[in-house]
Amino acid sequence: MIGLDLLWLLLPVAAASGWLVGRRAVEPREAPPARGRLGSDYYRGINYLLNEQPDKAIEVFIELLEVDSETAQTHIALGNLYRRRGEVDRAIRIHQNLVSRAGDRSGERHDALLELAQDYLSAGLLDRAENLFLELSEISGYEVQALRQLIDIYEQERDWEKAVRSVRQLERVTGNQLGVVIAHYQCEEAQRLRAAGDAGAALAQARAALASHRGSVRASLLEGELLQASGDIDGALDAFRRVETQDPDYIPVAVPRIEECFRLGGRRGELGAVLERLAEAHGGVTVLLARAKVVAEAEGARAAVDMLAAALRSRSSVRGLDRLVELERQLLRGGREPREAAHLEILSTLTRELLRDRPVYQCSHCGFPARSLHWQCPSCKHWNTVKPIRGVDGE
Ligand SMILES: [Zn+2]
């Protein structure tokens, strides 16, 4: 505790003679020149520190010390040390003092404002932090850092409109295209509107998200769900089928919705051909299982078993095997093959065991495993990186 507080002793010395010289000057034998200049208040401050009363010491030093270009960075560094130790109140006092004493030295004032905003953020005072970052976002050299912090704050507050505005400003400042992130914010807003019962405004937001990023799978899924709910099944189907061209990795997410629309729209006959084409172009066990269902309905379980077995010969899949065993058991039910039924029972237990509690999705950036689809990785906060897992026990 006292170690950090004693760093205050270096401040006046840095003021008098620069940092390096100052380090030597704290040696007792070189103290006299400092004493003459600093007077009794300085030693009063030291007494407070030695008596472990750092708050009183800080008051004395803040009163005592001039802030100038020599000491400003030391003040900032000390404030930051306090913040990192979780003593945010002290950090705020030091940085506030700097801001008020910086006068017309705008560089120092802005550096101190940036740190003060971080202090407020650490203290959970988001409104105050937001105001300072807004001020800094208009100042050359500080825009990028301030805008990134503002975007973080708006994400925490789920204020998507302000988040979109800040990302657009960041696009202008950096020249980077950030449509992917903007589209996600607009989708978040669409979801909020849908939950509030305003389907029309939600649809408009989903379409705005598509305009921001043509490849937004999430916006297509949202548009499809909203159109389906309004009874526009063909429109919904167009939106869901668009996912294939946007990002084939998400086909497993779109397939159940595509299936449902074909069934709702009375176009079940076309579903088989659509799934077959998807399977040929992209593979994947979700499409395979959807095809097996269509074949089982149209031609019976035996045909579905033959189709599945042929597909699994060229590509192993636990989920495929699980369905195959299930279909075989259906065929055996009521039959006179007790030994075969017992073997299938064992196999079925094994596949269920292998699939139980397995993550279905994984973040391609940090490896975070998930049972449900997250558009923003809960671990690394990247967008669009959590996708269906591929491989023997996945897609
Ligand atoms: Zn991640």
User: Is residue 17 in some structural domain?
Assistant: yes
The reply to whether 241 and 138 lie within a common domain is no
Are 130 and 258 members of one domain? no
Q: What amino acid occupies position 340? A: E
Alpha carbon of 383 to ligand 1 centroid (Å): 8
Q: How far is the CA of 364 from the centre of ligand 1 (A)?
A: 7
**Boundary of a domain, candidates 213, 241, 266:** 266
pLDDT digits (tens, 9 = 90+) for 339-384: 888 888 898 999 898 888 888 899 999 999 999 999 999 999 999 9
CA 388 to centroid of ligand 1, rounded, Å: 13
Residue 96, in any domain of the structure: yes
Residue 254 Cα to ligand 1 middle (Å): 22
- Tell how far the Cα of 395 is from the centroid of ligand 1, in angstroms: 19
Q: Identify whether residues 255 and 332 lie together within a single domain.
A: no
340 in the same domain as 241: no
In a domain, 274, yes or no: no
Residue 384 Cα to ligand 1 midpoint, Å, equals: 9
Burial class of residue 99, CB neighbours in 10 A (0-12, 13-18, 19+): middle
Give the Å distance between the CA of 359 and the centre of ligand 1.
14
CA of 174 to the centre of ligand 1 (A): 24
The residue out of 174, 202, 234 marking a domain boundary is 174
Residues of the chain scoring pLDDT < 70: 1-39, 63-69, 334-336
Per the structure block, which two tokens stand in for 171? 């696009």
Report how far ligand 1's centroid is from the alpha carbon of 361 (Å).
11
Separation of CA 381 and ligand 1 centre (Å): 6
User: Which amino acid makes up residue 104?
Assistant: D
Alpha carbons 73 and 232: distance in angstroms, whole number: 63
List the domain range (segments joined by +) for residue 245. 177-266
Q: Are residues 86 and 40 in the same domain?
A: yes
Element (H, E) at 127: helix 126-136
The rounded Å distance from CA 371 to ligand 1 centre is 14
**Residues in the chain, how many?**
395
Rounded to the nearest angstrom, the distance between the alpha carbon of 362 and the centre of ligand 1 is 8
Same domain, 222 and 262: yes
Task: Report the separation in Å between the CA atom of 22 and the middle of ligand 1, taken as the mean of its atom positions.
Answer: 46
Specify whether the CB–CB gap between 99 and 120 falls below 8 A.
Answer: no
Interatomic CA distance for residues 93 and 89, integer angstroms? 6
- Identify the pLDDT of residue 163: 97
Residue 213 lies in a domain: yes
3-class DSSP state of 390: coil
7 and 82 part of one domain:
yes
Same domain, 116 and 40: yes
198 with 125, same domain: the answer is no
Last residue in a domain, options 266, 288, 323: 266
Taking the centre of ligand 1 as the mean of its atom positions, its distance from the CA of residue 387, in whole angstroms, is 10
Establish if 114 belongs to a structural domain. yes
CA of 20 to the centre of ligand 1 (A): 44
262 and 140 assigned to the same domain: no
Handedness of CA 229, 233, 236, 237 (dihedral sign): positive
Question: How many angstroms does the Cα of residue 243 sit away from the middle of ligand 1?
Answer: 22
Looking up residue 131, the CATH number of its domain turns out to be 1.25.40.10
Q: Give a yes or no: residue 100 inside a domain.
A: yes
CB 378 within 8 A of CB 356: no
One domain, residues 21 and 160: yes
Instruction: Output the CA 369–ligand 1 centroid distance in Å.
Output: 9
- Whether residues 61 and 198 share a domain: the answer is no
User: 192 in a domain, yes or no?
Assistant: yes
Structural domain total, the chain: 4
Contact in structure between 213 and 179 (CB atoms under 8 Å): yes
SS3 362: strand
Q: Which candidate, 106, 169, 119, 182, places its Cα nearest to that of 143? A: 169
Give the Å distance between the CA of 221 and the centre of ligand 1: 22
